[in-house]
């Protein structure tokens, strides 16, 4: 794994305090993306997600549903490119439906 040069002190560097050993990025504001959380309890699992879609610093949509039902007991928690995650959720839903159909219907050949 490559480590950025600014993160590693070089030999002979003058260090005047502990702060000189702390990388610059630790002092900068953290930009967060999607927040998705799941909590298990005795009766099941509760899932939740934030609802904002952003494009850089611009909030494109404040009411996005990031929890997509795949099956009555399966959800896809989406983050990243909306089009890509929706396409994956659609493919998984289709494949799960196809799997259910092929395993619940008996075929008789006459």
Active site residues: 34
DSSP string, 70-91: EETTEEEE--S-HHHHHHHHHH
Q: How far apart are CA 26 and CA 41, in angstroms?
A: 35
Phi/psi region, residue 36 (left: phi>0; alpha: psi -120 to 50; beta: rest), is beta
């Amino acid at each position: 794994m490559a480590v950025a040069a600014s993160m590693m002190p070089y030999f002979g560097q003058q260090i005047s305090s502990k702060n000189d050993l702390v990388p610059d990025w630790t002092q900068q504001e953290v930009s967060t993306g999607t927040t998705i959380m799941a909590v298990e309890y005795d009766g099941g699992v509760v899932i939740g997600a934030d609802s904002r879609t952003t494009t850089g610093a611009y909030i494109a949509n404040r009411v996005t549903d990031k929890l997509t039902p795949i099956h009555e007991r399966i959800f896809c928690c989406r983050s990243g490119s909306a089009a890509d995650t929706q396409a994956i959720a659609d493919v998984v839903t289709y494949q799960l439906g196809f799997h259910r159909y092929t395993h619940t219907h008996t075929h008789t050949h006459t």
